[in-house]
Amino acid sequence: MDRFNFHPNRFRNLRQGEFAVYRTAKNVHEVPRAVYMRNPLAYHQKEQANESKMAKRHSN
């Protein structure tokens, strides 16, 4: 028997902009859920730019 944290049929039902989130931290049990993000690529690019700025500050 296969055991899924987020069943494949739920992936099919995700709408555009929705993502599956499942946290795998020790001693934390959260139910897998679907979340909606507006402009996820823009958010990701902004985070990468911030990380690169922080890395430059720490290297000087």
pLDDT digit string (tens) for 22-55? 777 778 777 878 888 777 677 778 888 888 888 8
Residue 3 falls inside a structural domain: no
Residue 23 falls inside a structural domain: yes
Label residue 6 exposed, middle or buried (CB < 10 Å: 0-12, 13-18, 19+).
middle
Residue 2 falls inside a structural domain: no
CA atoms within 13 A on the CB side of 43: 6
Q: What's the whole-number mean pLDDT along residues 3-31?
A: 80
Number of domains in the chain: 1
Q: Alpha-carbon distance 12 to 7, whole Å? A: 9
Residue 1 falls inside a structural domain: no
Q: Alpha-carbon distance 33 to 58, whole Å? A: 36
pTM above 0.75, yes or no: no
Residue 15 falls inside a structural domain: yes
Residue 12 falls inside a structural domain: yes
Residue 24 falls inside a structural domain: yes
Q: For residue 15, what are the domain limits?
A: 8-59
Q: Alpha-carbon distance 8 to 31, whole Å? A: 15
